[in-house]
Structure 1
Amino acid sequence: MAKWSIDPTHSEVQFKVKHLMITTVTGYFTKYNLAVTTEEDDEFKTANSIVFTADVDSINTNNEQRDTHLKSPDFFDAATHSEIKFVGKSYEEVEAGFAKLHGDLTIRDITKPVTVDVEFHGIVVDPYGQTKAGFSVDGKINRKDFGLSWSAITEAGNVVVSDDIRLHAEIQLVKETLS
């Protein structure tokens, strides 16, 4: 059995959303955690626990006014629902280096099944002797499925914020040393 934790200095968690249906805005979570337990040391398809959390208050879209709005009850309601959580249920390898990760995503106390695409980049030992594993994760959700239903239409009839949210993460895990 092996336990892995996220290396936050070599990882990033982001989302992308269409604004006015003509540009894409990127946002990040700056505080998050990921813990993975595998049955086999270096076999992520044997993962029996995958838990990711993001601190809603750490949302950053490089615009303080927008970030404040996203934390408000119109969207994430950070005061009441401080955490986004994904619990992996199964890691389904579809071909060498590529997998589907099935799990439950909880936003605003609404939990829905979600599947994300995972690209496994390999395992290496860094110059400090730590074993690390790298992944790219991509997915898409409909924000309204999770109670993020604020909407507005411009005078010209354009939607201000799209319903579809693209998710992307670059993840580096560190194998914990068991004493």
Structure 2
Amino acid sequence: MATTKWAIDPTHSEIGFKVKHMMFTNVSGKFEKYDATIATEGDNFENASIDFSANIDSINTNNADRDNHLKSADFFDAENHPKLIFKATSFTKKNDENYDLTGDLSLRGVTKSVKFPAEFSGLMKDPWGNTKAGLNIYGKINRKDWGLNWNSALETGGVLVSEEVRLNIELQLVKQ
């Protein structure tokens, strides 16, 4: 069977995350610039090959001071580690729309294996005849596992920034 290549449609995709701030509200952010190489056997996404990277400098939490702090050595250290990189090692079908995405996530020069649930929304043709596929990847990581350790204690107890980062990645893929 022929290999099918897919590209991310950036106008219909979002690489998002949320982190608890002061133990009780979420701060949301996203990466604005990213790239992926995705290949499947025909239109079957099981065992898809997925290589993804995001530019750390493109982080956007709607606050320039916070974004600059996230890019600094306290967090991502964008100067020395300009990209977040994910390379899938398996994409396993559980049922018609649910998959497990396993792979190596690299941040700040640290690479760790991660596993995230993924929902495959199926294939659809858009009005211009392009075949599209929908994929939602979600889950959580502990930022300290990658050396993103900065924090500040609160007078009331607890910490300013949660260690847990929730991921919400919405991808619309275009068949090439």
User: Does the alignment reach a TM-score above 0.5?
Assistant: yes
RMSD: 0.8
Aligned length: 174
Aligned to 1:146: 146
Superposed CA deviations along residues 23-47 of structure 1, whole A, max 9, x for unmatched, are 01101101111221112x1100031
Shift of 1:18: 0.5
Shift of 1:124: 0.8
Shift of 1:83: 0.2
2:59 paired with 1:20: no
1:28-47 aligned at under 5 Å gives the runs 28-39=30-41, 41-47=42-48
Unaligned segments of structure 2, at least 5 residues:
none
CA–CA separation in structure 1 for the residues paired with 2:56 and 2:47: 30
| Displaced runs of 4 or more, over 2 A | none
2:72 paired with 1:77: no
1:158-169 aligned at under 5 Å gives the runs 158-169=158-169
Shift of 1:151: 1.3
Q: Any idea what SS the aligned residue of 2:165 has?
A: strand
For normalisation by structure 2, the TM-score amounts to 0.97
Shift of 1:87: 0.3
CA–CA separation in structure 1 for the residues paired with 2:15 and 2:159: 25
| Identity of matched residues, % | 52
- Letter aligned with residue 140 of structure 1: K
Unaligned segments of structure 1, at least 5 residues:
none
